[in-house]
Every structure is written in C-alpha cells, then in structure tokens.
Amino acid sequence: KERGAAVSTRQEVDANGRPVSKVVKKGVKDFNFGRTLGEGSYSTVLAATDRQTLREYAIKVLDKRHIIKEKKVKYVNIEKDTLNRLTDHPGIVRLYYTFQDERSLYFVLDLASGGELLGTLKKMGTFDEECTRFYGAQILDSIAYMHSRGIIHRDLKPENVLLDDKMHTKITDFGTAKILGLNGGQDGSRPAGDPMDGAETDRAVSFVGTAEYVSPELLTDKNACKASDLWAFGCIIYQLLAGRPPFKAANEYLTFQKIVALDYTFPDGFPEVARDLIERLLVLDPAKRLPIDHIKNHQFFDGIIWGKGLWKQKAPRLRSYV
C-alpha cells in the first residue's frame, strides 16, 4: 500500500508562479459512507468508499461531545498514538490518517472485510489444529511486533482479531493499549524480551480487559505487562480448538475467581501438543509464562514459517475440530 494512499494533492502555483502540489487532507465529503461494521464503547466503525479513488476503508467515527463528557479523551489519544506506532505490520489494522468536523473525529483505517474472528469461530464451532496453528501463528507474530514497538494490547480477544479479504488476521481496538516508556511505564529498563516489561509499579490502573481473557496479575496486583497479552493468547488458542474460552462462568466475578484459581480443564480429546503449549501460557506468575521466542519454537507451531512468509501464504480452508 503506497504511503498516504488516502490523502490527495492539489496542483497550485507558489509565490514565484512555480507549480507546486499541495497535500490536501480529505474530509467527510470525500467518502461515501456505507454500513455499520461495529460499535465500540465510544465509537462506531463504518464502511466507506473514497469517492475519488474508489478504495474501501473502515472509518471509526467518535462523537467529540460524548468523549469529553465521558472523560475518554485520554483513550482516544492512546489509540491514535498506538496506531501511529504500529503502521508497518500486515497483522495490525493500519490507520491512514484522521480528520474532524465540528461534531466528530474520524479515523480512516484498513477495512477488514472478513469481520471478526469470533464470528467465524461461532459459525465453525471450533477450528481444527491446522487452522488454529495458522491463525495462532499470525496473532503471535502480530503480538511480537506490538511488543517490539513497546505496545501492550491488554484486551486481546477473538472480537479484536479481524479477518481481511484473504482471511489473514488484523488485530484492532487499541483504545486500552499501554504504551511503554510513557508516563511512568517501564521505559524498556528491563532486558529485551523480559515478559514483565511494562509492569506498572503500584500505579492506579483503572482499566481491566474483558473478563474471560483478563490475566491474573491484572486482577490481583493491577500489574499489566507484556506477558498479560500472552495469557490472553493462551485463552484464544484454547478457544479456537475447544469452541469456548477456558475461564467462563455465570458472571464476571465468578469468572475472575476461576482465573486467579487457575480453575480450568481441557475437554476430552483436546490435542496433547496444544494442551502442553496452553499449560505453559496459562501460568499465574507472568514471569514464568513461555516467552514469545519459546512459543514460536514449541512443537505446536512445527511447520510454521515465521516472518514475511507467514503473511504471503494462503490461509488454510476453515475446518472444525471434531
């Protein structure tokens, strides 16, 4: 995708009459808005077509008054800063640029026309090992990229993993991400790859992710760290193969109790190799969770070509685990 694909240039002449092309940011009137793709807590994501280039985008629309009233300006800025740091990976939804009018803010983003992975999983019931291996590898590759850019997602779940037109994954929804090295977060003072990198030191953490995927450290001592994303990753791999998340109870409180007690079981027939990997990720102590490089080398991912090759290959035909 050429850089700045969604901005236009206008030919003008400068003071000396020399022709100059002026970069003009697009606005609402440059797009045909289509259907609603998803509703966030403070935003709506719509499909939109650039009227000049006919390219399709997803545009996230945020109501300014609502954001200010609900004191969510910080989250909007974190999402924008995060997306602006994560522009160079096929597995992350890309933000092209933003504009605003008197009422709203607009984020012009990649359209992931395959929708949410959760929707596909619900249709399939479960994924077989080959599909789980492929989608798990793409999600892990994207987590590795995020962490290398000092970003902790903190709310990874199948709803936030989108699928594009090639059925490849695109991670989204960074409003609750943590940017390391800013406002008291660890500024990489820990050795590279340290899973505890980003552990907030006794800061009042107001955010907790989605109950089923929240890590125990976030519940007990409010510490989110890079390894928290790997806990969520373990929950996602389990859910792809089992058709349900490992920790699910009648309400959030009971779900939290199961998490901190590591109270989960594998269904009969659950694949042994996947079970071994998940048991090394769903570990209460974040420092003892398998770090990303060891996960990549785990037998479950035997046969995966890590790196660019992973994103060039055809997605496997979706099959259920029976």
Instruction: Kindly name the residue from 155, 164, 173, 229 that is annotated as catalytic.
Output: 155
243 near ligand MP6, rule: CB under 6 A: no
- Say whether residue 172 binds ligand MP6 (CB under 6 A): yes
- Asked if 40 touches ligand MP6 (CB under 6 A), the answer is yes
Determine if 92 is a binding residue for ligand MP6 (CB under 6 A): no
Does residue 37 touch ligand MP6 according to CB under 6 A? yes
CB-based contact 157:187 (threshold 8 Å): no
Backbone angles phi and psi of 104, in degrees to 5: -130, 165
Q: Determine which residue in the list 115, 125, 181, 184 makes contact with ligand MP6, applying CB under 6 A.
A: 115
Rule CB under 6 A: choose which of 42, 64, 105, 113 binds ligand MP6: 113
Candidate residues 120, 138, 142, 160; the one interacting with ligand MP6 per rule CB under 6 A? 160
- Are residues 212 and 255 in contact, defined by beta-carbon separation less than 8 angstroms? yes
Pick out residues in 175-214 that bind ligand MP6 (CB under 6 A). none
Run of H or E including 231: helix 226-242
Q: Which residues pair with 104 in a beta bridge?
A: 63
CA angle 109, 114, 118 (to 5 degrees): 105
Burial of 172 (0-12, 13-18, 19+ CB in 10 A): buried
Name the residue with the smallest CB distance to ligand MP6: 38
Pairing of strands 104-109, 95-100: antiparallel
Helix (H) or strand (E) holding 215: none
Confirm whether 155 is a catalytic residue. Answer: yes
The C-alpha atoms of residue 92 and residue 85 are separated, in whole angstroms, by 11
Residue 119 or 271 having the CB closest to ligand MP6: 119
Which of 98, 186 has the CB closer to ligand MP6? 98
Residues that bind ligand MP6 (rule: CB under 6 A) add up to a total of 22
Where do contacts with ligand MP6 occur on this chain (CB under 6 A)?
Answer: 37-40, 45, 58, 60, 93, 107, 109-113, 115-116, 159-160, 162, 172-174
Active-site positions read 155
